[in-house]
Structure 1
Amino acid sequence: MGAAVALAGVGLAGCGGDPDAGTNGEGKLSPQKIQNDTRKAAEAAKTVRLSGTLLSKGGTYKLDMRLTANGGMGSVTTKDGVLQLLRVGDHLYLKAGSSFWQGKGGKGDSASGVATKLSGKYVRVPKGDPAYQQLSGFTDKRVLLDGVLALHGKLGKGDHGTTDGIRTVAISGDGGDGGTLKVSLDGHPCPVRLERAGGAGSLKFTDWDKEFTVREPAKNDTVDYGKLPTS
């Protein structure tokens, strides 16, 4: 009888085992240290895929971007349609449908004529154009991650859990009002999922360090934004 009670006690103790067993140990750290570690891991990673929705004063943006140190590629969906973005070094290209280009023609061009010629083409955006600064940020790993990974208010640590099949620990600002970030407990402490402050969207981070290459589009598939075609 005594042995049975002892075994039962061992079993109960096992059910309440260490939630950090077999993890990278981030769950034992302070929320500030977890935040510092996940930023360092994100910065050190060569590549990442970022997808989800961002809400800002400028509107709602649906993202699906693959980012690397020297560029990025993917799509940004806005009220004006789906924009395919490609950046290789300082060269930024935009591909969109004819509806996006309506009314953006050069002098002497009909809007419909220019829209037809630009539709489906990679349009190179000059670095000095205002659109370059606005759009290139979506293709810049450092800029984009620095912007979205910020949590606001007093940092706190939440529960352990599983997010998209990955063991995670949550950190948040002001109890979640300042955003909540799920950080991987498997391998490197990379961000896994973010709920932005004030309901300003949610983002998913995948394919950390999964190699891919960004290449310049074929010349016959590109148009210089500064030399819009004429009808």
Structure 2
Amino acid sequence: MCVGLVAGATSLAGCSSEDPDAGTNGVGKLSASKIQSKAGRAAEGASAVRLSGTVVSKSHTYSLDMRLKGEGGTGSVTSKGQTFRLLRIGDELYLKADSQFWTHDNGKTDGKSRKADETAAAKLHGKYVKVPQGDPSYEQLSGFTDKDVLLDGMLALHGTLAKGDRGKTGAVRTIKITGDEGAGGTLDVSLEGKPYPLRLERGGHAGTLKLTDWNKDFPLQEPAKDEMVDYGKQLPTS
């Protein structure tokens, strides 16, 4: 017990510290490894999530804004100044971009060849192009739309785990966990409701991501026939 004596009076004010975990889900009391484990299980069990921010992979920077769930995903990816949209429903993957995206620069100087490329690209402007499963780009592009693949790869912290400060991500109270004092990544985990991961700073300056709209469903609808082009076994190349 704490008793503070003041001249002429007895005061108990300030003797008991406020419990930082009062009204929370309690994960702030756990070790860093247990917090990471609980956050991973919460993410795995969620039906949907929105993932936005930047990812640096193999010296390339990607800006993502993807909505993901078990049966597929949809959203935009920007790389090298080019933005394209992805839509996956089951195994069916579609890519939509402007004509500049489809204009291939292979060093051609022949005016007719360039004109032919531009004409072909113009026909694909704003269309969903079906990505064949045998095309080399299918695996990489579909990975951007796969909730489990993205979260498994993104949420891992590297090195010795430690528990950091409490704070807020948006309006939600969070607890921070780090790998190798932040060099291996930093993850903010919700202290309210389920312990969802809400913000990730990837180790090695490999990007920062926000994870929002947990369990908020969204529609996935196949493009109409007049909005889609199917080239068969391979995407168009010049």
TM-score w.r.t. the length of structure 1 is 0.91
Q: For residue 114 of structure 1, report the CA deviation from its aligned partner.
A: 1.2
Q: Name 1:199's counterpart in structure 2.
A: 205
Which residue number in structure 2 is paired with residue 65 of structure 1? Answer: 66
Match of 2:34 in 1: 33
Q: Which residue of 1 aligns with 2:77?
A: 76
Q: CA RMSD in A?
A: 2.0
Match of 1:164 among 164, 167, 170: 170
More displaced, 157-166 or 173-182?
Answer: 157-166
Which of the two has higher C-alpha Rg?
A: 2
Aligned equivalents of 1:183, 1:78: Cα separation in 2: 28
Seen in structure 2, the aligned counterparts of structure 1 residues 2 and 148 have a Cα distance that, compared at 3 Å, is same
Matches within 5 A, 1:30-179: 30-103=31-104, 110-179=116-185
Letter in 1 for 2:93: L
Equivalent position of 2:3 in the other structure: none
Are the equivalent residues in 2 in contact too, given 1:66–1:72 (CA < 8 A)? yes
Structure-1 separation of matches of 2:211 and 2:88: 20
Q: Deviations over 1:184-204 (max 9, x none)?
A: 000000001001101111000
Q: Which has the higher helix share?
A: 1
What letter is aligned with 2:211? F
TM-score w.r.t. the length of structure 2 is 0.89
Cα separation, 1, equivalents of 2:45 and 2:195: 11
Q: Does 1:189 align with 2:191?
A: no
Aligned to 2:15: 13
Aligned partners of 2:67, 2:163: CA distance in 1, in Å? 29
Aligned partners of 1:20, 1:129: CA distance in 2, in Å?
Answer: 51
Corresponding residue to 2:223 among 214, 217, 221 = 217
Where does structure 1 differ by over 2 angstroms across 4 or more consecutive aligned residues? 1-5, 225-229
**Could you list the runs of 5+ residues in structure 1 that have no partner in the other structure?**
none
For 2:9 and 2:50, the matched residues in 1 are separated by: 52
Q: Unaligned regions of 5+ residues in structure 2, if any? A: 1-5, 107-112
1:77-120 deviations in Å (ceiling 9; x for gaps): 01151010000000000000111100289xx8921011101110
Q: 3-state SS of the aligned residue for 2:232?
A: helix
Report sequence identity in percent: 60
Contact in 2 for aligned 1:104/1:111 (Cα 8 Å): no
Q: Given that residues 157 and 172 in structure 1 are in contact (C-alpha distance below 8 angstroms), is that contact kept between their aligned partners in structure 2? A: yes
Q: Distance in 2 between matches of 1:177 and 1:3?
A: 54
SS in 2 for 1:13: coil
**Cα distance in structure 1, aligned partners of 2:9 and 2:128:** 73
Alpha-carbon distance change, 182 to 223 in structure 1, aligned in 2, over 3 angstroms: same
Aligned length: 223
Whether the aligned pair in 2 keeps the contact of 1:104 and 1:114 (CA below 8 Å) is no
* CA contact 1:80–1:100 (8 Å) conserved in 2: no
Q: Distance in 2 between matches of 1:64 and 1:134?
A: 16
Contact 1:169/1:185 (<8 A) preserved: yes
The residue type equivalent to 2:186 in the other structure is T
Say which SS state the counterpart of residue 193 (structure 1) adopts.
strand
Shift of 1:13: 3.5
